[in-house]
C-alpha cells in the first residue's frame, strides 16, 4: 500500500494546520500510524506514535487522529511557531510488518 501526503503546506504563526496521510489500500485503523518531524540536516524525531500518542517532550500543540471514513490519518499542529518548520512524514505498516512511509510534507511558517 502507499501513504499519500500533500507536498507542502504553509500558514502564519499562531494558526492551526492539518496534514493528511491517506492509505491507498487496507484499513487505516488496522495498523498504527506514526508521524515524524525532520528539520534540515537532522534525523527524524517522533511527534506522534500509535495514531495519537505524544512522546514525552512533544508539546500538546501536536495531535494525531485517524478517520476510517476517508481511510486517512491526520497530524494537527496548533498555535504554529517558526520552530515547527520542516518536513513531516507519516509512517505505517502492514499485517506482515512491512513498513511504509509517506512522501513527506514540507511545512512553512510564514
Provide the minimum distance between the beta carbon of 87 and another protein in the complex, in angstroms, as a whole number.
8
25 binds another protein (CB under 8 A): no
* C-alpha cell, 91: 509512517
- Interface positions, 45-104, toward another protein (CB under 8 A): 45-46, 49-50, 53, 55, 87, 89, 91, 93, 96-104
Q: Which residues contact 80 (CB under 8 A, 6 or more apart)?
A: 11, 12, 13, 14, 15, 16, 17, 109
Q: Report the candidate in 94, 86, 95 with the shortest Cα–Cα distance to residue 35.
A: 86
Contact residues for another protein (CB under 8 A)?
31-32, 34, 36, 43-46, 49-50, 53, 55, 87, 89, 91, 93, 96-104
Amino acid at each position: 500500500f502507499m501513504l499519500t501526503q500533500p507536498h507542502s503546506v504553509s500558514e502564519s504563526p499562531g494558526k492551526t494546520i492539518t496534514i493528511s496521510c491517506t492509505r491507498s489500500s487496507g484499513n487505516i485503523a488496522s495498523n498504527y500510524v506514526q508521524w515524524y518531524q525532520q528539520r534540515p540536516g537532522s534525523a527524524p524525531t517522533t511527534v506522534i506514535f500509535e495514531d495519537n500518542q505524544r512522546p514525552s517532550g512533544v508539546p500538546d500543540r501536536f495531535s494525531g487522529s485517524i478517520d476510517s471514513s476517508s481511510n486517512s490519518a491526520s497530524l494537527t499542529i496548533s498555535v504554529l511557531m517558526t520552530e515547527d518548520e520542516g518536513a513531516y512524514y507519516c509512517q505505517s505498516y502492514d499485517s506482515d510488518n512491512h513498513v511504509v512511509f509517506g512522501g513527506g510534507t514540507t511545512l512553512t511558517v510564514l
